[in-house]
Amino acid sequence: MLAPDSPRASRAAAWARLGEPWDILVIGGGVTGAAILFEAARRGLRAAMLERADFASGASSRSSKLVHGGLRYLKEGKLALTRESVHERQALLRDAPGLVDPMRFLMPHYRGSKPSARTLGFGLALYDLFAGHRQHRALDADEALRLVPTLDPVGLLGAHDYLDATTDDARLVLRLIQEARSAGAIALNYVEARELIERDGVVGGVHAVDGIEDTSADVHARVVINAAGSAADALRTQIGARAKLRPLRGSHLLIADWRLPLAQAVAFSHPRDGRPVFAYPWLGITLVGTTDIDHTESRSGEPTISESEATYLLEALAHRFPASAIDRTDVIATFAGVRPVIESGRADPSKESRDSAMWNERGMLTVTGGKLTTFRPMAMAALHAAAARLDSFDLAPRPTFTRAELPHAPHLSLADRRRLAGRYGASAQLLLDETPPSEHCPVDSTPTLWAELRWAARHESVEHLDDLLLRRTRLGLIAPAVDLRWAARLRAICVQELFWENARFEREAQAYRALHAAYYGALA
């Protein structure tokens, strides 16, 4: 018999509810699907979500971690997209401190480089206009080097310093799911929407297959919303729709911060093709990205950085930070994500629009495209489209989140308390109350507390070790050897909270190390 408060019992209870009638069924557990679930549930709709792998296991844990307006979209004349993105950035900075935090960016100007200082200054003035107050400033070369001493000083004319924001993308998804569940929704990972169910030519549900328990069920809803990201076309083609997505891969390098120490982000153009590249501090390491190429590999495996992409990003670092002499041996981990971009026929992948799109095809709504930053407008657009088929409900705008109070924890720093409040919302205090004080300390030199691992295992639908180390926490990216150094302590948490036997833990550890080496590991 399952313990009534065990993760397996919670999953079984959610699965048992799938046979109930639903207002909205969301397919896809990335940030768009999670946001739709959250917005629907807090407006009183009966909402369920199915994700065929783990929550945020696609692009929503593999983004560039930026909540930003997108300066480059101004150059393309995408004023509306930039305005919306800046507005959402400001709202998230207000509503989710500790989860979405301000990040100063520095863009240096070199002799002959583009965009020129004047052009960038004009773009940043628009940026600030959309935000409602001035947030940028012009710097001379000496001021730029004081902020970023590792910059190449040769030919440096000056720089612009401006504001954007950064986040932990996977934790953003989990916060949305957590609050949706608190409002009555259910969300199941490792459940695939295998086949669409139609009645009189209208999609009204799915045949769902549980990859954990090897069982299946039919799930019916008044509105089915396809938010499966780069896999959205797989559902659409079941009802005869033409594929419309162009999967584009963005890859990243993670470097120990002592090798490339940065107090703020640096954005610059790649010397080869002029594409924007950045390097910035994230969770105690330095993150470098990104590429933008067609992803032609099978969707059955995880995306991974190619040799040519790694060379491209290392070239960018050598060009802008030559004295640091960063090479492939300095890379501690990598990751790649596949963006669900709408196909327009452009030859250059970077020229494809990042606008969102929505299609109503035989009753199924597909919501895709867009950017991490604009998840809330995408979710609200989906609810507006679904409203005609549902009973009346409140569609008035609301704050993204209710700003969480800092947990009472005198033994933790203010930064730790802010981070916990941002990532766990109203559950931050409970996380500390439920876990032993001996676990209110960081894993290695990371910001992650041992208590967060225990909480995730107990409450956050962890099914495999990579769920715990790559998405509930980011230890697999920022401290990739942690499962080796702390195997006994990790094992104890998994045995106690997930009820794994030692043999199960060993199988999970072996599978995790193989997956990490293949898709997230250092460069060979």
Question: Mean pLDDT, to the nearest integer, of 446-451?
Answer: 97
HSE-CB for 208 with a 13 A CA cutoff: 32
The model's confidence at residue 5, banded by pLDDT at 50, 70 and 90, is low
pLDDT digits (tens, 9 = 90+) for 15-52: 999 999 999 999 999 999 999 999 999 999 999 999 99
Residue 219: inside a domain, yes or no?
Answer: yes
pLDDT at 137: 94
Query: Which of 343, 369, 404 is where one domain is finished?
Result: 343
Residue (of 429, 451, 428, 455) closest to 440 by Cα position: 451
**Tokens, residue 312:** 């491209």
Determine, yes or no, domain membership for 500: yes
pLDDT of residue 28: 98
pLDDT over 70 percentage in the chain: 97
Asked if the structure places residue 410 within a domain, the reply is no
Using the structure block, give the residue that is written with the tokens 């998230």. Answer: 92
Tell me phi and psi for residue 258, to 5 degrees. -70, -20
Which pLDDT belongs to residue 116? 83
What is the token pair recorded at 364?
């199924």
Examine the domain organization and report whether 449 and 468 are in the same domain: yes
* Residue at 470 is within a domain: yes
What's residue 1's pLDDT? Answer: 45
Q: Are 259 and 331 found together in one domain?
A: yes
- Percent of the chain clearing pLDDT 90 (strictly above): 82
Number of domains in the chain: 3
Q: What's residue 79's pLDDT? A: 85
The residue-averaged pLDDT of 64-75 equals 85
Considering the domain architecture, whether residues 232 and 312 belong to the same structural domain is answered as no
Residue 299 has a pLDDT of 64
Q: How far apart are CA 348 and CA 110, in angstroms?
A: 26
Mean of pLDDT values over 83-98: 95
* Per-residue tokens: 171: 């934790």
pLDDT of 256 reads 96
Q: Are residues 253 and 276 in the same domain?
A: yes
SS3 101: strand
Tens digits of per-residue pLDDT, 164-178?
999 999 999 999 999
Residue whose entry in the numeric block shows the structure tokens 């768009």 = 32
Last-in-domain residue among 325, 343, 361: 343
Tell me what the pLDDT averaged over the chain comes to. 93
Structure-token pair, residue 432: 């500390």
| Same domain assignment for residues 238 and 250 | no
| More confident position, 80 or 498 | 498
* 200 and 158 together in one domain: no
Angle between helices 31-41 and 169-182 (to 10 degrees): 20
Query: Residue 514's CB: how many other CB atoms inside 10 A?
Result: 11
Residue 482 falls within a domain, yes or no? yes
Domain, as residue range, for 483:
435-519
Q: Are residues 154 and 258 in the same domain?
A: yes
Residue 85: inside a domain:
no
pLDDT at position 347:
66
Strands (E) located in 89-140: 100-110, 137-140
> Is position 440 within any domain?
yes
- Reported residue count of the chain is 524
Of 177, 194, 209, 189, the closest CA to residue 464 belongs to: 189
Q: Is 363 helix (H, G, I), strand (E, B) or coil?
A: coil
Which pLDDT does position 4 carry in this prediction? 57
Would you state the structure tokens that stand for residue 421, as one six-digit string? 């409040």
